[in-house]
Amino acid sequence: MAAGSQIFPALLLIADGLGDRLVPELGNRTPLEAASTPTLDTMAAEGESGLLDPIAPGVRGGSDTGHLAILGYDPYRYYPGRGPFEALGIGMEVRPGDLAFRCNFSTVDSELVVLDRRAGRINEGTTELAAALDGMVIEDVTCFFKESIAHRAALVMRGPGLGARVTDVDPHADNVPVWVSHAVDPTDEASVKTARVLNAFVRKSFEMLDGHAVNTARRAEGKNPANVALPRGIGVSPHLPNFDAMNGVKGACIVEVGLVKGLARYLGMTVIDVEGSTASLDTDTGAIGRAVVDALGEHNFILCNVKGPDVAGHDKNARGKVGIIEKIDSMVAEIIEATHGQIIILVTGDHSTPVTYGDHTGEPCPVVIWGPPVRQDFVKSFGETAATQGGIGRIRGLDVVRILTSYMGVQEKFGA
């Protein structure tokens, strides 16, 4: 940094699923364009706008791959598949090198033929069932197990010499036997070991769950017992460089998505929970904004994610998306006021979730950057259409953190 130059903190605000398409019921505007957003519009007028492809143009990303990319980790290199992220998302500890699987509690007969892959969509007692399996040791491998929502759970295997190239045990259908896992390459001894441990885990899970009190009660009520755990979607937990060390910042994360919370923890960021944060349209954005301001005391890079726009997008709820965007606008106004504007703020989405489509799509998200050192362009409001004229042009998720740390004044120079 140059002597005497000012250092600024930064807020990276992800309105989850922000990007959208033209909505007839909103007068052929996007929800962001239909919303009353005086703060975001002022930021666009005073700062720079553009379009951001979280991963690459046209790629339909997830919240996991989108946030990975926006935080500077190329998802094509670092995304390990759903297993590790699922485990992180429900608060399990995942270490580099661990194997992780998504799991179902399922119903099998004594021959391990699957009768019901979702065990009657069980939604009670899974904490007790998971506790029975958690900590199981097979050979020199420890198996950590935790329930998620309904019939879902995750398995983390930790031990020496485990390979990841194994076939699934979940047959993905009812009335067929549980598959026996094999190493894809029989000479790959590490994967042979994983397949052996995996098959033993499945067998043991049946032995431990079939007579469990929870299942005795379920049978008495005429419900399918959750008497086996069937892992799938193996992933090796990657070695991700520490976010703070890589970027020369002290990062904190205030996010509403469990998966992103797990990711941030994994990257070494401080994870801050907020009371009143519901990850839905009724979330307390005021409380989230106050938490952001508080976090700036000991941190200078805040990742904040508000989930509501994505929820409304999945529900095809155009008015709901407009409403949560207006709440986010007020939140940003309060953050600017509390920091006296001495902050760099970047607002964008991790993917588009158009209310006309009801799921993630590959269009870019609008992006605005605002703060004392930020250049200007000719754009006067924040929206998908206006952003096409912006000075940022079209950037990618991987560019975001570098753009911020340059404006913050904390980035190491590359070269002389």
Binding region for a copy of itself (CB under 8 A): 1-5, 21-22, 30, 48, 51, 55-66, 75, 79, 82, 85, 259, 314, 354, 356-363, 373-378, 384-385, 388-396, 399-407, 409, 411-416
CA pair distance 397, 4, nearest whole angstrom = 31
Nearest 5°: CA angle at 163, between 159 and 168? 110
Question: Which residue, 171 or 390, is less far from a copy of itself as judged by CB?
Answer: 390
Minimum Å gap between C-beta 395 and a copy of itself is 5
Minimum Å gap between C-beta 290 and a copy of itself is 29
CA pair distance 378, 391, nearest whole angstrom = 8
Question: Which residue, 4 or 222, is less far from a copy of itself as judged by CB?
Answer: 4
Minimum Å gap between C-beta 49 and a copy of itself is 9
Minimum Å gap between C-beta 79 and a copy of itself is 7
CA pair distance 351, 16, nearest whole angstrom = 7
Terminal Cα distance for the chain, rounded: 13
Minimum Å gap between C-beta 157 and a copy of itself is 21
Contact (Cβ atoms closer than 8 angstroms) between residue 84 and residue 75: no
Amino acid at 289: G
Question: Which residue, 290 or 316, is less far from a copy of itself as judged by CB?
Answer: 316
Question: Which residue, 5 or 110, is less far from a copy of itself as judged by CB?
Answer: 5
Amino acid at 317: N
The β-bridge relationship of strands 141-147 and 152-158 is: antiparallel
Q: Is 115 helix (H, G, I), strand (E, B) or coil?
A: strand
Residue linked to tokens 């994983």:
194
Minimum Å gap between C-beta 256 and a copy of itself is 15
Question: Which residue, 201 or 407, is less far from a copy of itself as judged by CB?
Answer: 407
Question: Which residue, 120 or 364, is less far from a copy of itself as judged by CB?
Answer: 364
Nearest 5°: CA angle at 339, between 255 and 265? 25
